[in-house]
Every structure is written in structure tokens, then in C-alpha cells.
Structure 1
Amino acid sequence: MKGFWRRLPAIQQDLLLAALIGVGWFGGLALLNNSALRPANPSVSVVTGMFLVLTVALVRQIPRTTLVTVSVLYPLMYASAETGLAEQLGLDIFRAPAISDAALQSELHLVPLLVVGYLAAASGVRRFTCLFFTMGSLAGLMIGLPTVVAIVLSNSPREVFAYGERYKNLPRDIPSLYDYIDLSLFVFAEALICGMVLLGANALRRRKSLLVMEQRNSALVRLRTIEAERAAAAERTRIARDLHDVVSHHMSAVVIRAQAADRVADQKPEALREAVRWIAASGREALTAMRETVRVLNNAAPGTGLEMAPVPDLAAVARMGDRLKAVGIDVTMQLPTRSRQLTSATDLTAVRIIQEALTNVMVHAKATAAQVSWQSGPRGELLTIDDNGSGGPPPANVLETAKRQESGRGNGLIGMRERAHASGGTLTVAAGPLGGWRVQAWLPPQR
């Protein structure tokens, strides 16, 4: 039932609630009208019920119009029914007497003003506007009602006062009004209206705060999804880089060594045998590196990142040069002299950049010599890889024009640049002193 109610549009909710209130109010009034509890003047209760139903049905749709209409018309119609003006106009509602009391029949008749004040404030009408109209309406009802009675009776025939004791005490002039104004009831009713308006304003503020929180929560959910997608993309890129570095470096050396052995197989069978042994050892090393990478990826806890990747040591970096020597490239290396464990993300970035640069020398440069320098200091890590390749200096803006291709070509330069930038460093490619290319990377100090 609660879910059904929430699914209804606001206008249908208001109309249905107003209909239920109308049935309850007028049904109860009809029962009381035929009993000993019949009110002295049922017509005022009819007026109250009409305005209550009108208020509930319309105030959320047209709050300002409903507020002004109820606040202005309700006291006028209530006074007309209460003082007998309605009877004089020919509106005989529940046999109302021609002249009735000048006081408020029941505090229950304040309900339309309480409801319109609360709902108008809760619908966005400024609370000062609500207070002005509702409290002013109450003042008109409780002060203006005796005024109307006095004016009516001052122009009524003397026979009216012979209807009973209750008519003898009715005010006949304006000064006698003050005997019919209950100041304590008036103050209490005004305070009650003020409280209802403030409650409505507070309900509006809470609803706006809830809406803002829901919007922020939706935004956070969207941001979390975007961040998760970015993290997944970054993780896929990291995995691709690691696998590319491991496979490319080892397999490139294996292919080149196999091609060289094939060319001399007929003249030097022993060279072929030596090459096969070297290929087997290099293949085992490549498989071990790949298995270690896959193991880390399979066992990594959610939320872990680069620090979980297998990190080689300086001896592994030296073996990279040995692999190039095995394929005919003379490599000299200047590595950090102090003993250190390559455990940080910066160290891994440095190792992978050296590995990829040497792979490019081996595969693309057509070089016979290369130099690797790794200078480590308080200002960061400086990596320099030079070769004497015969292809000449690199083209201008080679890093900006390098693009990944479906064949995999172009991943080397882009991968090195992305690794350097991810660590907060820089990477440049220019002509080197040996006649070929110089790849130089600076990485910030380790944290």
C-alpha cells in the first residue's frame, strides 16, 4: 500500500487525500447533526470542511494562490455563516439560526488556517508570507467576527433580541466587541499557527537537504564508476606494458640469435648448437618472468597496484646487456655502484625503460654498440641509452608522432613515455653522440 501511494503523482495523492478528508469530515458532521451532539450552528462546520478539502487538494499545486484565497475568504464566509448573514441571504444550511453567536464556535475551526500555513510553507512559499496571511486571517476571524455581529445587530429590528437569553448578550455596538475577544485564546491560536508555518518551512528545508544529498550520492556513484573504469583501464595498460616488456625483450633476442645461427649453421655447426643452448636458457628466463607476472596478477588483492609487480634486481639489468652481446651488440653499462634493492615504483620504471630501449636497439637500430648509464642521486634517477645505429638521428617530434599499431609496432616509445610520465618524470628522444639515437629519462626522487 505504501509503495502504491508513492507511485501516484502528487496531484492524485492530493485529490485522493482531500476526498478522504471530505468524506470523513462531512460524514461525521451528518452523524452529529442527527444526534444530541449537534453543534449550535452546523453551517460554520460546513464552511470549515469546504475550505479544509480545498486546501488539501490545491495547496501543493498552487500554494500562493491557495494561501491567499483561504486566508481572505475563509474568515469572510465563516463570519457570514456564524452571524446569520448567510441565512439573511437565503442560504439555510442545517437550519442555521438567523442570528448566532459572535465568538469562534470551536478551536477545531482553525484547522484550515493551520493546514494552509503548514502546506504552503512546505511547498516553497516564504515563511514570512505564510505568517502574514495566516496570522492576519486569524486576527480577522477572531476580531472581525464580533465586528460583523455588532454591525448586523445595530441594523436589526428590536424583535431579534426577544429570541432568548443568548441573544441579549450579543454586541450591539463596536465598543462591546472587546467582551467577545478572548485574548488568551487569540495569542495561543496565533502561536499555534506560527508553529505550523515554521514546521512547514523546516519540512521544506529537510526535503531540499535530502534532495541535495541524493544528488550528491548519485554524483559520487557516477564518479566511483568512472574512477573504477579508469583504474581498470590503467591496470590493463600496466599489465600490457609488463607483458610487452618481458616478451618483447626476451623473444626479440631469441629471434635474432636464431636467425644468426641459421645463417652460419652449415659452416659452423657448433655455433648452431651453442645458439640452441642460449635460446633454451633465454626462453626459460622469459617463461619464468612471464609466470611471475601472471602469478602476481592472479594473486593480487583488490585495490593493489604497481607495487605488486615482480621487480628485477641490478643483476637482471646487467643480464639485459649480456643478451644484446649474445646477438652481436657491444653493450657497456654504468649502473649504480651502491648495493640497492629495486623495490620501488621508480626503480621498476627505470628498469622497464632500460629494457625497452635496449629492445629497440636490438630490433630496430641496426647498431653494433650501445651505452647504458643509470645515475642515481638526491635529485632523482637519470637514465641515458645511446646507440650507434645506422638509421641516423630520430625524426623531429618522434614522441608526438609515434602511434600504436595493431601489429604492436610503436608501443616501445609510447610505453617508455607513459611510464616516465606516470612516475612524474620526463623522457626525450634525440640524436646521440654515437651516431644513433639517445633515449634519456629523468625520474623524480624515490618516495
Structure 2
Amino acid sequence: MRAAPSYDSDGSPKVMGYWRRLPAVQQDLLLAALVGVVWFVGLAAINGSQLRPKNPSVSVVTGLFLVMTVALVRQVPRTMLLCVSLLYPLFYAAAETGLAEQLGFSFLRAPAISDAALQSELHLIPLLVVGYLAAASGVRRFTCLFFTMGSLAALMIGLPAVVAIVMSNVSESVYRYGERYANLPRDIYSLYDYIDISLFVFAEALICGMVLLGANALRRRKNMLVLEQRNSALVRLRTIEAERAAAAERTRIARDLHDVVSHHMSAVVIRAQAADRVADQKPEALREAVRWIAASGREALTAMRETVRVLNNGVPGSGVEMAPVPDLADVARMGDRLKAVGINVTMQLPTRSRQLASATDLTAVRIIQEALTNVMVHAKATAAHVSWQSGPQGELLTIDDNGSGGPPPVNALETARRQESGRGNGLIGMRERAHASGGTLAVAAGPLGGWRVQAWLPPQR
């Protein structure tokens, strides 16, 4: 039973993962070694068959240049482009025709057979590979085309031309080499028999295509790099946005819990303190206060449970619209709680048929709730007035009290921001709620002798 292949975390086989982790130099050397083994083993395998090349030394030169190209072109692309383009035709000619021996280079002996043309289309591989890899490594397309196509022209046209020129100027002693020189061109006119124009045009087009493929591979690699960078930037932005959303959600939760707990518990504490002061003289007032405290506590717990339920069931990132929205009856009960602790509250609210379902309505309710809590806890007031005017221009909220603490400072909101304690927390929360809805909030002296908190919220969309 065949074992199942193993894969990396990205889903690719482990062999591919190991290959990608190798440095580029090691990849090129290993690939060049593999190409060399395949080329020379194949050459040795066909050496004793009918497929044996006419001149094996030319194929050896081709294999050596191919191995060097694969091994080095990505590291030094321009250098290898020059070396292969200039030296490959030279060594190919020297190995094929034996002209080097005629010129005195005895280390390049005349081959067993001599020719003056491209022996096999496979011998174009070094030029194809160097053109593709050099263009893929960043060498300009024009440069790659100029050298590789020029090298091919030297190989297929220049080689017979050089042979013809040399043969026309050598002595008759060259014929001692026998029939292997019989068919070599001896003048420029005889070159037409050695140049296959159709093959030459096809080979030039093939080299041009390989260079363009290499340039396209480079462009795709650059595009992939840009996309990876953009993806990384988007991931970072999403992380930052998620952190901002989490911070905003924490702030919203803190505000909602503060509104619920502060308003209800402040009323409970004040009512309990008042009942404690008259408990000995009026036991029935204590009993009534206890009943009222129990009812207010249940109402606070219900509101807190509703907030927690929304937090548990709400869709992440849905924002304020998932919060529980009170109705106008809840706003009226806020005034009743203040009346229970001795503060006469009058309210001018929108019509009872209105449904409070938008984020702007929730903001308005929370601002009224917080302002009344401040009146109850800090203002030392006996009367307050709440006005909620709704129209095409938006929502206008006004909360006045007759507190004895005196008028607010001119820069009450800035002072509250710096202190961040006491009444300032409520003012900061109201201002942030108003700004979050696109509105404004101001604090000034009111007509009743105490403070006036006035907020404007934009029209509902």
C-alpha cells in the first residue's frame, strides 16, 4: 500500500517546500548539475547508436555552456549574457570545423568530421536559456535580443562566412586532411548551400519569444511582489482597524454600562440616604423607599441584562445599532426617578407615537439620561427641565437645572477633559456621543440658575 504524500502548512508537497527554502545559488547549482547529468548521460547513451551526432565534441561544448548558463546566469545575468553570446559561437566554430588547428591552436585538433553549419537545433538551447533567464533576471529586453539574436546570426551565418574566407586564403596543403574538407565553402557565393534561411528565421523568432517570455516572467514576479506588499499592508490595516473597532466597542460598552448603572444606582443611593435620615420618625417612609429601591434595582438589572444580551448575540462590527434602544416611556421614567429623590422634573418630549429605533435616538436618550444623573448627583438642584425638539434640521436637546453650585465655567468641557473625574466623566461621555453622531454639545449657564446642557444631533438618515 503506497504511503500518502506529506504536505507543508501551505498545502504544497514537502519537497517543493524544501526547494523554495533553499537559497537561489543552491537552487541554480542543483538544477545545473541535474541538467548536466541528463545531457551528458543522454549523449553517452546515443553515442553508439544511429542517433550518434556527427561531431560529438560540438555537443559537449553545447552541454558545457548550458550547464554554466543555468548555474550562473541568475547571479550575474549581464556577464553570462555577454560570455555566452560572444564565446559560444567561437567555441562552437572551433570544435566543429577544426579551423583553430589551421591557425596554430593545436590543442583544438581537427574533428573526425568537419562542417560549417549548425549541426542540430538542440545546439540553440544555450542561447534560448540565457535569453530567457537574463530577461527574467532584469536585463533589458533590447539588450537580451541584441546579443542572443546576434550570437545566433554569428552561429548560422558568420560561421560559414568565416570558413569561406579562411578556406579561400589557405594553401593547397589543407587537402591533406582528406574529404572532410571537400564540402567546406571556399568563397562567399557558396554560402547559400550552408545557410537554411527558414531555419534561421524560425530560430531568431524562437529566441525573440524566449526573451519576451523571460521579460513577462519578470513583470509577473514584480506584480506578485507588489501584490504581496499590498496584501501585507491590507493585513496591517485590517489589524489596526480591528483594534480601533475593538477600542470603540469597549468605549461603547463602558458608556452604556455607565449610563445604566450610574443613573439607576445614583437614584437608589440618594433615596436610601434620604430614607435613612427619616427612618426613626417615619418608618412608613423607609418601607416605601425600600419598595422603590427594589423596583429601581430590578429595572437596572433588566437594563444591564439587555445590554449583556446584545453584547453576547450581536454581530461583531455592527456598532451602536445593535444596542438596546429605550422608548419615550423610559425617558419619562428617568424624570420619575428624580422626582422620587426630591427633584421636580418637567419634560417636553416628542409625540408618544414616535419609534426610537435609530442610533441618533439612542444618543439623544443617553445624553438626557447622563445629564439628569449629573443633576441628581452633583447639581444640588430641586427642579429641572428637559426639552427634546425634533425637526428637519435635527434633534435639539436642552436640559436645565436650578442647582445651587453656581454657573459652569466658560470652558467647562475642556476642564472636564483635563480632570477626567467626577462630573467631568459624564460631560466627556455626552460630548463624545454627540460627536460620534456628527452633532455638538455645549455647557453654559441656564435660565433656572444652574447649568444648561444643550446638544444638537443631525437629522436621522
TM over 0.5: yes
Aligned length: 445
Q: Which residue of 2 aligns with 1:139?
A: 153
Q: Which residue of 2 aligns with 1:366?
A: 380
Q: Which residue of 1 aligns with 2:427?
A: 413
Given that 1:18 and 1:54 are in contact with CA atoms closer than 8 Å, whether structure 2 keeps it comes out as yes
1:139 and 1:259 map into 2 onto residues whose CA distance is 106
Tell me the CA shift for residue 193 of structure 1.
0.6
* Cα deviation code 1:128-153 (max 9, x no counterpart): 22111111111111111012212322
Greater Cα offset, 292-301 or 310-319: 292-301
Aligned: 1:91 with 2:112: no
Aligned: 1:195 with 2:209: yes
Is the partner of 2:379 in helix, strand or coil?
Answer: coil
Q: Which amino acid aligns with 2:256?
A: D
Q: Which residue of 2 aligns with 1:270?
A: 284
Is the partner of 1:364 in helix, strand or coil?
Answer: helix
Q: Which amino acid aligns with 2:111?
A: A
* Cα deviation code 1:275-325 (max 9, x no counterpart): 222212211211221122222222224443322222111111111111111
Is the partner of 2:84 in helix, strand or coil?
Answer: helix
Q: Which amino acid aligns with 1:271?
A: A
Select 1:107's aligned residue among 114, 121, 125.
Answer: 121
1:409 and 1:82 map into 2 onto residues whose CA distance is 99
* Cα deviation code 1:100-128 (max 9, x no counterpart): 21111111111000001111111122222
Given that 1:428 and 1:439 are in contact with CA atoms closer than 8 Å, whether structure 2 keeps it comes out as yes
* Cα deviation code 1:380-403 (max 9, x no counterpart): 000011112222222333323324
Select 1:388's aligned residue among 393, 402, 419.
Answer: 402
Tell me the CA shift for residue 169 of structure 1.
2.4
* Cα deviation code 1:217-267 (max 9, x no counterpart): 222222222222222222221111111101100100110111111112222
Greater Cα offset, 221-230 or 139-148: 221-230
2:412 and 2:82 map into 1 onto residues whose CA distance is 75
TM-score between the two structures when normalised by the length of structure 1? 0.94
Greater Cα offset, 36-45 or 318-327: 36-45
Aligned: 1:280 with 2:287: no
Aligned: 1:295 with 2:295: no
> Which runs of 5 or more structure 2 residues have no equivalent in the other structure?
1-14
1:232 and 1:382 map into 2 onto residues whose CA distance is 30
Change (3 A) 1:404 1:315: farther
Change (3 A) 1:302 1:162: same
Aligned: 1:218 with 2:236: no
Tell me the CA shift for residue 32 of structure 1.
3.9
Matches within 5 A, 1:161-180: 161=175, 163-180=177-194
Select 2:92's aligned residue among 68, 78, 89.
Answer: 78
TM-score between the two structures when normalised by the length of structure 2? 0.91
Is the partner of 1:373 in helix, strand or coil?
Answer: strand
Select 2:131's aligned residue among 92, 100, 117.
Answer: 117
Q: Which residue of 1 aligns with 2:349?
A: 335
1:42 and 1:155 map into 2 onto residues whose CA distance is 28
Is the partner of 1:440 in helix, strand or coil?
Answer: strand
* Cα deviation code 1:139-189 (max 9, x no counterpart): 111111012212322233313235444522211123322332111111010
Aligned: 1:349 with 2:363: yes
Q: Which residue of 1 aligns with 2:9?
A: none
Q: What's the C-alpha RMSD, in Å, of the aligned pairs?
A: 2.1
Tell me the CA shift for residue 43 of structure 1.
2.1
Is the partner of 1:402 in helix, strand or coil?
Answer: helix
Q: Which amino acid aligns with 2:167?
A: L
Tell me the CA shift for residue 329 of structure 1.
1.3
